[in-house]
């Protein structure tokens, strides 16, 4: 599978299948969007619901985001068609399942139509804190081990998309949900221009440009994927392998994203974080930090990234070097 690149052009080609037209003629179209708190699940469903409504469909949307914190499940059902009676999608009746997190996607697979359902899933892994049984860097985690190839074998049509990495490369990790909207858009009849217009209403004004790029990237990726030679393991290739010791731990903090919630400060097992005078998190005692990544996993605002930088072997071998 070829590595996607950023592009600013839109695809105006045919949808994967004219599903929305079918909905207009007969049954409601059922789109299930799932992820965890902070990923923008609700924004995806609102953009879709708004667009469908603007095209004259009856729309019903229901969502659960009471646990909308990092690690908490968030899902939204969007149903649209000439007549929609119920706001929820029964098991086995989703036409499209869009997952913003890998394990959440797998968890919701039973809702997908067995014969025709389309599965679009970010390969992003957000490991819940209870899966971090061992705080050592590189320690095994309790997390789904299924590969995209294994999952694809069990769905009618499946796409494992590296949306978070694509959004990162565009300069805004938070636009990953819009990369997925771009992918989703190819399965529905609405035009790219209509999608872009709808999106512009749901993202902050200053991020419209990057979000439109993210949308086009997702659309283009699906187009490439449909013609690419099958290379089933490629989508997971970006997930960094556990760093082998010796390593240096480096925290990357994005002050603009820190909302001073104090979660990381309270839950850091080594108590090495604090809020500074501006109430922005900072690493107060770097020598105590083990690189366990709990702060990164728990921060609801993506404000912390933990990097385990390998130390050159010759440096590691020096007397007194960190082992």
Q: Which two tokens stand for residue 308?
A: 């385990």
Is 11:147 a contact under the CB 8 Å cutoff?
no
Phi-psi region of 172 (alpha: psi -120 to 50; beta: other; left: phi over 0): beta
Question: Site residues for ligand SF4, window 66-95 (CB under 6 A)?
Answer: none
Closest distance to ligand SF4 from the beta carbon of 220 (Å): 32
The least distance separating ligand SF4 from the CB of residue 69, rounded to whole angstroms, comes to 10
d(CA 109, CA 111): 5
Q: Which of 260, 282, 305, 316 contacts ligand SF4 by CB under 6 A?
A: 260
Task: Give whichever of 71 and 148 is closer to ligand SF4, judged by the CB atom.
Answer: 71
Q: Tell me how far, at minimum, the Cβ of 246 lies from ligand SF4, in Å.
A: 16
Closest to ligand SF4 by CB, 160 vs 249, is 249
Q: Which of 32, 132, 264, 311 binds ligand SF4 (CB under 6 A)?
A: 264
CB of residue 180 to ligand SF4, shortest distance in Å = 23
> How far is Cα of residue 30 from the mean position of the Cα atoms in its chain?
20
Contacts of residue 287, defined as CB under 8 A and 6 or more positions apart, other chains included, come to none
Residue 6 in tokens: 């950023």
Please tell me the distance from the alpha carbon of residue 89 to that of residue 151, in angstroms, as a whole number. 21
- Strand residues in 189-263 grouped as ranges (E): 247-253
Please identify, using beta-carbon distances, which residue of 217 and 258 lies nearer to ligand SF4: 258
* Closest among 151, 107, 150, 153 to 126, alpha carbons compared: 107
CA 312 – CA 114 distance, rounded (Å): 50
The residue (of 36 and 187) whose beta carbon lies closer to ligand SF4 is: 36
Number of residues that bind ligand SF4 (CB under 6 A): 25
* Closer to ligand SF4 by Cβ: residue 163 or 299: 299
268: tokens are 């850091």
Which residues in 275-314 contact ligand SF4 (CB under 6 A)?
A: 281, 289-295, 299, 301, 303-304, 306
Supply the minimum distance, in Å, between the C-beta of residue 302 and ligand SF4.
Answer: 8
Nearest distance from C-beta of residue 266 to ligand SF4, angstroms: 9
Q: Which of the 8 DSSP states describes residue 323?
A: -
Question: Tokens standing for 207?
Answer: 């991020």
Nearer to ligand SF4 by C-beta: 77 or 293?
293
- Between the alpha carbon of residue 140 and those of residues 75, 76, 126, 149, the distances in Å are 28, 31, 14, 22
String of contacts with ligand SF4 for each residue 120-139, x by CB under 6 A: --------------------
Nearest to 170 by CA among 225, 126, 116, 217: 217
Q: How far is the CB of 258 from ligand SF4 (least distance, A)?
A: 3
259 binds ligand SF4 (CB under 6 A): yes
Binding site for ligand SF4 (CB under 6 A): 258-264, 268-270, 272-273, 281, 289-295, 299, 301, 303-304, 306
């Amino acid at each position: 599978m070829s590595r996607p690149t950023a592009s600013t052009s839109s695809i105006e080609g045919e949808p994967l299948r004219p599903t929305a037209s079918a909905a207009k003629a007969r049954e409601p179209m059922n789109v299930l969007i799932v992820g965890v708190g902070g990923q923008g699940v609700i924004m995806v469903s609102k953009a879709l619901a708004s667009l469908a409504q603007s095209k004259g469909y009856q729309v019903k949307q229901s969502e659960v985001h009471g646990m909308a914190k990092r690690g908490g499940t968030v899902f939204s059902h969007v149903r649209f068609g000439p007549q929609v009676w119920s706001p929820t999608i029964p098991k086995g009746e989703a036409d499209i399942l869009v997952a913003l997190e890998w394990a959440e996607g797998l968890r919701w697979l039973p809702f997908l139509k067995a014969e025709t359902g389309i599965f679009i899933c970010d390969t992003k892994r957000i490991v819940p804190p209870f899966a971090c049984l061992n705080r050592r860097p590189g320690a095994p985690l309790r997390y789904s081990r299924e590969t995209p190839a294994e999952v694809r074998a069990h769905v009618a049509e499946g796409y494992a998309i590296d949306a978070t990495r694509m959004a990162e490369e565009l300069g805004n990790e938070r636009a990953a949900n819009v990369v997925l909207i771009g992918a989703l858009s190819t399965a529905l009849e609405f035009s790219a221009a209509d999608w872009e217009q709808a999106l512009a209403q749901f993202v902050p004004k200053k991020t419209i440009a990057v979000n439109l790029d993210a949308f086009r990237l997702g659309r283009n990726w699906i187009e490439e994927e449909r013609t690419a030679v099958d290379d089933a393991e490629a989508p997971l290739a970006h997930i960094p392998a556990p760093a082998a010791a010796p390593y240096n731990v480096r925290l990357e903090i994005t002050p603009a994203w820190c909302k001073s919630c104090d979660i990381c400060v309270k839950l850091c097992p080594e108590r090495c974080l604090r809020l500074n005078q501006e109430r922005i998190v900072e690493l107060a005692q770097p020598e105590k930090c083990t690189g366990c990544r709990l702060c990164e996993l728990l921060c609801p605002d993506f404000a912390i990234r933990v990097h385990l930088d390998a130390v050159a072997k010759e440096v590691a071998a020096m007397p007194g070097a960190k082992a």
